[in-house]
Amino acid sequence: MKENIFGKDINACEALMTELGEAKYRGKQLYQWLYQKRCENFSEMTNFSSALREKLDGQYIEAVLMHYEHGASLCVSTQVGCNMGCKFCASTRGGKIRDLTAGEILAQIYLAEKDENLRISNVVIMGIGEPLENYDAVIKFIRIANTGFGIGQRKISLSTCGIIPGIEALAEENLQINLAISLHSVFAERRKQLMPIANRYDFEPLMEACRAYFKKTGRRITYEYALIDGYNDRDEDITGLIKLLKGSQNHLNLIGLNEVQETPYKESPRLSYILGVLEKNGVNVTMRRKMGRDIDAACGQLRKKRYKDKVSL
Ligand code: SF4
């Protein structure tokens, strides 16, 4: 399979040009064509000779999978399927097929902009897949989305189900992005039932990694919490959330659960009540209704049924 040219950073573009026997500065020109001018056809790269365009042509992009809603905020996928096994999530059925490359993740922005004739200003890395399990490609994606596509780092959010080594590595990247953690329960055992990955990365060590992340980056963390009827919306859950977050700069995002047909989990009717109690108790909290209008959704819960999938493999 040929390598995608889309997703190469500036060094890789220069290396490619050198490999092709061209001057190094051609790499910078290629980078500009790809990301600043959003050129999708080599024939439009008018400052390249026809011989060079021919050499490049065999490596042009194929978009693999994108997952988006109309609007200037785009939710991107980082893997085809997912191995994390979260019980409320449709994306994990069938497991992970493969990781996406940085270019394939970028292509989701590119194609959404092209299809909808708009510019994406916010990106949420919360679609199918666990981004920190595809770490290198995702970091590369973020850097190119920022410096190439011109999307501000603070306009990029990454959501993880709690991969501790990934959080630790991310803290060292010197990025200004927003980190969101799929929390969904403050009780370790309940969280494990809901999110099997918590058996590997338990609640307390995860909270410790989050504290270290905040200390290192100064970036507040958002905890995503999908309210499930009778499971994590009980009075003791509210008390646990208050204990965890009262007075903290971190932020709690309550979400109306998107019910997945094959699971027993139902949306909680207590959403507004819980929001009120948490607010009264000094928790920095917002509420997000079920996805639909708002693309900024809980990690991996974008169901095919509710959203357009575009697949080109
Ligand atoms: S919620 Fe996210 S991490 Fe969990 S299974 Fe779904 S896609 Fe994977």
pLDDT in tens, 232-281: 999 999 999 999 999 898 999 999 887 777 788 999 999 999 999 999 99
User: What is the pTM assigned to this prediction?
Assistant: 0.76
Helix (H, G, I), strand (E, B) or coil at 126: coil
Q: How far is the CA of 77 from the centre of ligand 1 (A)?
A: 10
Helix (H, G, I), strand (E, B) or coil at 185: coil
Confidence (pLDDT) at 58 = 47
The fold for domain 65-311 equals: TIM Barrel (3.20.20)
Ligand 1 neighbours, Cβ below 6 Å, are 82, 84-86, 89, 91-92, 128-130, 161, 299-300
Which pairs from 151-154 meet CB under 8 Å and 24+ separation? 151/109, 151/120, 151/121, 151/122, 151/123, 152/121, 153/177, 154/178
Please list, in sequence order, all residues whose beta carbon lies within 8 angstroms of the beta carbon of residue 60, skipping any fewer than 6 positions away.
4, 5, 6, 42
Are 10-57 and 65-311 in the same CATH fold? no
Do 107 and 130 contact (CB within 8 A), yes or no?
A: no
Q: Is 299 a catalytic residue?
A: yes
Selecting among 19, 44, 54, 62, the annotated active-site residue is 62
| Strands 178-182 and 156-160, bridge-based pairing | parallel
Q: How far is the CA of 300 from the centre of ligand 1 (A)?
A: 5
Do 135 and 80 contact (CB within 8 A), yes or no?
A: no
**CATH architecture entry for 10-57:** Orthogonal Bundle (1.10)
**Complete DSSP assignment for 248-281:** -S-EEEEEE----TTS---B-TTHHHHHHHHHHT
For 182, the token pair is: 């799929």
Torsion from C-alpha of 105, 106, 110, 115, nearest 10 degrees: 10
Do 252 and 223 contact (CB within 8 A), yes or no?
A: yes
Domain ranges of the chain: 10-57, 65-311
Note the pLDDT tens digit of each residue in 10-47: 999 999 888 888 899 999 999 999 999 988 777 788 89
For ligand 1, atom 6, the nearest C-alpha belongs to 300
Helix (H, G, I), strand (E, B) or coil at 75: strand
> Can you tell me which atom of ligand 1 is nearest the CA of 161?
3
